[in-house]
Structure 1
Amino acid sequence: MITAPQPVVLVVDDDPKNIKLMRAVLGSAGYHVLFAADGLIALQIAREAHPDLILLDVMMPGMDGYAVCSCLKEDEVTRDIPVIFLSARDDVEAESHGFELGGADYITKPILLPVLLARVKTHLNLYQHRRSLEGMFRDVMEFAPDAFILADPHGEIVQVNAQAENLFGYSREELAGMHIELLTPNWPGNRLANNQSRQPYELIAETGVPCVRKDGSEFPADINVSPMKTNRGKLFMSVVRNVSERQKAEKALRKSGQSLRELAARSEARREAEKKHIAREVHDELGQVLTALRMDLSLLQMRFGTLDAGLDKKVLNMKTLVDRAIEGVRNVAGNLRPIGLDLGLISSLNCQCDEFALRFKVPCLFKTSGEIVNLAEERSIVLYRIVQESLTNITRYAQATQVVVKLEFTQSALKLTVQDNGCGFDLDASSQKKSFGLLGMQERAIALNGRMDIVSARGHGTQIQVTIPLLDAPEIERK
């Protein structure tokens, strides 16, 4: 059975009686006890034996306990060893001075032995627990997939993990003491180190920060910097993650998305061209045939209707059917390709708003502002379809009593706004449901290098605004 090693306690006191007493008390409690009669010997033993706890008498000739503690805390090897002061002075000033120097506790004489043992046990447990946590932290840091770099407020590197060596190409020995800006010239931690008013646990996170390897090659990284309070003072932990592959994947994804948008835009343009062709054929060919048929029926009615009442009624019914067919042809052609677009976007939108108001008995006001610009047909069709889809959504869901469509021309952009006073909707819920109508409108806007913004809330209506740049449209003509 493996037994845990005895905790080592160093007693520093110039009085042999006190040393004898401590040996008996601490030894019987299961501690391994070391002794030093003055401060210099105590410092030497502490460096060589590295005890788990130091009981330090304050009043000693030569180097007193305060001076010994100060030296211990300045030494890299001994600064973490907990120190308990033993003193006959029980004033607040003496006690607070001991804590300021880094003491873990302060016990006044005469010493109550049960209290001493309890304090020793407590601080040994805390020390062991802290060492255990530090070990766990070192293990986590060492085997983490990201680079960990611990630096002081001046940016000098104190500690790194294996991944930092692999990522930057330096050894630990080379990195120790190096300025962190040699690795990342725009180190985000400077903002924390230079601003003392910040919260002590504030975190700075930046993405795409340029970093430099030992061989001079560069790579982008996500860097999180957070302050840490340690026995060495305030340090800054930087977690560095190489995002080169992620950025390549994001770039490929953006390129793929752009290709899909371009493909969708070309497909939409072909569909609009086909609709235009079919609309022309339906309107011109079928419309002309129906018009000629109606003229013939009118002629037939004039010649023979007075001679045969039954024939007259039959011809009248046929004319009614032909009129309905002509109206149907116009509707089909208009849905495929708005006839008003041949007269320009302004005329077509004005007609669309009038038809909406007439059909659904909801006032639909159309406004324009700015210097009107003639747009290419493909742009006009996109804007027309966006208004068409917006009005369709209003009739289905909005329960509006008023609609305003506004077309605003500026020197650099065109803004199309469709606003209603209806019931509105929850934007977050709509995005989760993946509304294809809104998505289609947004994609139409993006195809013209524009954007679509939606403002809506339940009970407060909806506003859809599409902004299309004009500076990249060489075909425009200002009136």
Structure 2
Amino acid sequence: MNLLASQNGLHLSWRVYPNQNALDAAVERDEVDVAPGMQQTPATLRHWLFSLPYLRVPHKLVGFRAESADVVELDRLALNERLAIDQSSDAWQFVERNYPELTRLPARSDRQAVQAVEQQRAQYAIVDEAQLALLFKEPAFSNLAVVGDIGDTRLLRLAVRKDWPELPALLDQALSQLPPERLEKIRATWLRPNYPRLLDTIVFWQRLTLALTIAALLALGLWRRQRRARRHAEARLLSAWQELETRNATEAELRLSQFSIDNSTVGILWVSWDSRIRYANRTAERMLGYAQGALLARRLAELEPLLDSHTWLDAWNRLRTNHEIQSFETQCRRLDGQPLAVSVTLSFLQFGRAEYLVVYLNDITERYMARAALAESEARYKSMAANVPGMVFRLETPQAGEPPRLAFVGAASQHLLGYPAQTVQGWSQGWRQAVDEADLPGYLAAWHQAVDEARDWRWQGRLRHRDGHSNWVDLRASVRRFDDGRRVWDGIVWDISQNKHHELQLAESRSQLRSLAAHLESVREEEKARIAREVHDELGQILTVLRLETSMCELGFAHLDTKLAERLGNMKKLIESTFQIVRDVASALRPPVLDAGLGSAIEWQARRFESRTGIACLVSVPDTPLHLDDTQAIGLFRILQEALTNVLRHAEAATVSIGLSAEARRVSLSIADDGKGFQPERQPAGRSFGLVGMRERVWLLGGELQIDSQPGQGTTLLVRLPVDCREEIQ
């Protein structure tokens, strides 16, 4: 793994997990990307994708150093000889399946299995060759050696998380590019089988010592007479010994080769020209469900029903002539009649005068099922995309640095744009050529922001239909980033034309309502001013005449009758109180002090509020009067009245600060209290008509209203109106 990382510029961060379940749980939480040394099983396929095998680790038979160099085979073990095996390993299942008659001693690890042999509780142990290379480095196991091979091999693969389907192929390519000499060096470092050699046996040294002693005695006795004969005899003896050793080694290699072929992970068939099977290894027999030797002399057509004699002869002649290798996938028929998905590779072989077609079979049931599941998933995805009430799309960058392109467009493009999905998929920059000209700047800004900054894509605008009309759409896409620099946006385009139409109608209706409210407010203020003038002028004149007539009666007749004088005095008091009521009504309708300027009106209202409630008011207004138009002045004055009413009702304040200021093109009115405060965003609906009224007044005047308040910190209300009062300020 370090070699792969260094050659591909990767950084590895290692994590250790106690068991397979913990590792499977970790990959489900996206904590693990790649796991080396994994075996492909139905259980692990639920969580991982796998590379091709990168290491074959055989299981070795371990025992005490024997007096002879013979290789021990499981077939020749006595029934009373015990085998110590890690019960959780593949070797246990292998021996249990293939040699059920042997006596097995379960162990919890390879170390315990070797210790059982060292402690003579078992005659042999079956151990993983990689673990054995580490254990033999320990002095405690120096008396043990490898005495045989059981023929079972662990195929180690690289496991990859399932949401990275491209990574296994990349790892296979990287593994194939590793230098063979480096791999051989790594294998020699970590996997050093300790087979018994002839020089390690005691019998060899005993016999050799005896032979050398006899030879030495004979040499001493016949040194002069048989010197040449002795040398010739020694040469012949050495030659015979080497020939015998070579023959034994060759036979062992042949047996090992035959055993490896018989138990290969690939099914192998040798087929003669008449399509009859001449050889089948155990893997092929197990794969097809046949007993050992049951496939011999059968025709290949029994395994492939679609293979007739003409097709077979054509394939035989073509491969025999061209010596090419042909690969394809098909489904064979097992002995029980069930189909078996296999990958078939055919090659022509000539051995002596015999000619064969070698058939290599790989069980691809898992790949076939995965492919079927993928096809079903794609069909389900396309079906879902076609039934979603919107146009589903996928935008991706093929490689880092390249402009993104549409990789998938849903069938809803026909309804939304009038073009089929294949046509839309070839457009550049998404739907740029269908964007309405008025919305194109906003679309390009959203596009560049999403692409350049690798952010989610959000946009609302109009897309032109093929027939010329435009549809309002809402585009939303989420971005996914990959380690190789690629980025993918998965999103949907909703047709919001009807909602947008209702929204525009609602906005227009709201604008009309506000215009109507502004007109009604203007009419109301004009009516109040008119009523105030009539009350002041008409009632004022009548009350003045009544007060004059009452005074004349008092001068003329009060001295004649004391009771009459008392009544006239009461009438004068009643007339004066009526005068005050008239003045209050007129002031309430439209304070006359507004004619003196907004600043004077604010001071008058503050003093009146202070005298009526006892709440101290601090007023700050410009020294120079601001001559605003009546609409603005009355609007600000009404806002002040409503704010002071709210202070009296809700604030429980002791002091109110009122400020009026003006700039070149803006006048500001602020009302601040030291009351209990509140949270403006949490005001319940239907309980804040005062605030709603103030906001509407400010909106009608073209200004803005700002409310700052927190519980226990008082409330500040700030109104800003755009005006041109430079002349008045000067």
Q: Deviations 1:409-440 (Å, cap 9, x if unpaired)?
A: 11122212111111122213325235222111
Alignment correspondent of 1:203: 456
Deviates more, 1:400-409 or 1:290-299: 290-299
Which residue is 2:477 aligned to? 225
Q: Partner of 2:668: helix, strand, or coil? A: strand
Task: Classify 1:458/1:442 alpha carbon distance in 2 versus 1 (closer, same or farther; 3 Å).
Answer: same
Structure 1 CA distance for aligned equivalents of residues 631 and 561 of structure 2: 55
Distance 1:131 1:53, change over 3 A: farther
Instruction: Quickly say closer, same or farther: Cα 1:266–1:212, change in 2 above 3 A.
Output: closer
* Residue of structure 1 in register with 2:530 after alignment: 277
Say whether residues 1:398 and 2:651 are aligned partners.
yes
Deviation for aligned residue 1:132 = 5.0
Deviation at 1:387, TM superposition (A): 0.8
1:159 is aligned to 2:417: no
Structure 2 residue runs of 5 or longer lacking an equivalent are 1-51, 54-259, 269-281, 291-302, 305-323, 331-338, 346-361, 398-402
2:393 to 128, 143, 149: 149
Higher relative contact order (CA 8 A, sep 6+): 1
For these two proteins, the number of residue pairs brought into alignment is 391
Q: Secondary structure at the match of 2:412?
A: helix
Q: Distance in 2 between matches of 1:243 and 1:172?
A: 20
Cα displacement (A) at 1:306: 4.0
Report the Cα offset of residue 163 of structure 1. Answer: 0.8
Residues 310, 220 of structure 1: CA spacing in aligned structure 2 closer, same or farther, 3 A cutoff? Answer: same
Q: Distance in 2 between matches of 1:394 and 1:250?
A: 37
1:27-42 matches, within 5 Å, as 41=326
1:237-252 matched pairs, under 5 angstroms:
237-252=490-505
| 1:80-128 deviation per Cα after TM superposition (whole angstroms, max 9, x unaligned) | xxxxxx9xxxxxxxxxxxxxxxxxxxxxxxxxxxxx99xx87x888776
Distance verdict in 2 for CA 1:40–1:230, change over 3 Å:
farther
**Corresponding residue for residue 425 of structure 2:** 176
TM-score, structure 2 normalization:
0.47
Distance 1:417 1:382 in 2: 14
Give the secondary structure class of the aligned counterpart of 1:433: coil
Query: Aligned partners of 1:149, 1:52: CA distance in 2, in Å?
Result: 38
Are 2:329 and 2:343, in contact at CA under 8 Å, matched by a contact in 1? no
- SS of match in other structure, 1:422: coil
CA change 1:304–1:140 in 2 (3 A) is: same
Q: Which residue of the partner structure matches residue 566 of structure 2?
A: 313
CA offsets per residue over residues 168-189 of structure 1, 9 Å max, x none? 2222332334322444563645
Cross-structure match for 1:96: none
The residue type equivalent to 1:170 in the other structure is Y
Unpaired stretches in structure 1, ≥5 consecutive residues: 1-11, 34-38, 58-85, 87-115
1:371 to 1:329, Cα distance in 2 relative to 1, 3 A: closer
Report Cα offsets for 1:186-230 as digits up to 9, x if no partner. Answer: 3645444434xx5xxx6332323x545556765543211213579
Aligned positions of 1:439-478 closer than 5 A: 439-471=692-724
Deviation of 1:346 after TM superposition, in Å, equals 1.8
The DSSP-based 3-state class of the residue aligned with 2:530 is helix
Q: CA–CA distance in 2 between the matches of 1:254 and 1:161?
A: 33
Q: Aligned partners of 1:146 and 1:404: how far apart in 2? A: 56
Q: Using the alignment, how far apart are the partners of 1:284 and 1:322 within structure 2?
A: 15
Q: Distance in 1 between matches of 2:621 and 2:386?
A: 65
CA distance in 1 between counterparts of 2:498 and 2:466 reads 20
Matched letter for residue 496 of structure 2: V
Measure the CA separation in 1 of the matches of 2:623 and 2:493.
Answer: 51
Question: Of 19, 25, 40, which aligns to 2:267?
Answer: 19
Displacement of 1:343 after TM fit? 1.7
Secondary structure (helix, strand or coil) at the match of 1:439 reads helix
**Contact 1:370–1:408 (CA<8 Å) still a contact in 2?**
no
CA distance in 2, matches of 1:24, 1:432: 80
SS in 1 for 2:639: helix
Query: Structure 1 length as normaliser, TM-score?
Result: 0.70
What is the identity, as a one-letter code, of the residue corresponding to 1:270?
V
My pick for the range that moved more, 427-436 or 373-382, is 427-436
Alignment partner of 1:327 out of 577, 580, 599: 580
AA in 1 matched with 2:452 = N
Q: 1 CA distance for matches of 2:500 and 2:371?
A: 45
- Note the alpha carbon deviations across 1:295-354, whole angstroms, 9 max, x for none: 333343344434433233222222222221111111111111111112222221111111
Instruction: Answer with 1 or 2: which has the greater Rg.
Output: 2
Indicate the residue corresponding to 1:103 in structure 2: none
Q: Given residue 19 of structure 1, which amino acid in structure 2 is its aligned partner?
A: G
Matched to 1:325, the amino acid is T
Contact 2:329 2:341 in 1 (8 A): no
Q: Where does residue 139 of structure 1 map in the other structure?
A: 383
Instruction: Please tell me whether the aligned partners of residues 403 and 421 of structure 1 are also in contact (alpha carbons under 8 angstroms).
Output: yes
8 Å CA contact retained: 2:599, 2:626: no
Change in Cα spacing, 1:160 to 1:182, as seen in structure 2 (3 Å) is: same
Deviates more, 1:244-253 or 1:163-172: 244-253
Structure 2 distance, partners of 1:131, 1:449, is 61
RMSD: 4.1
Percent of pairs with identical residues: 28
Q: How far apart, CA to CA, are the structure 2 residues paired with 1:141 and 1:231? A: 27
How far residue 41 of structure 1 moved from its aligned partner, in angstroms, is: 4.8
Matches within 5 A, 1:4-403: 17=264, 18-20=266-268, 21-25=282-286, 41=326, 45=329, 132-153=376-397, 154-179=403-428, 180=430, 181-183=432-434, 186=443, 188=446, 190-195=448-453, 203-208=456-461, 210-214=462-466, 219-228=471-480, 234-369=487-622, 373-403=626-656
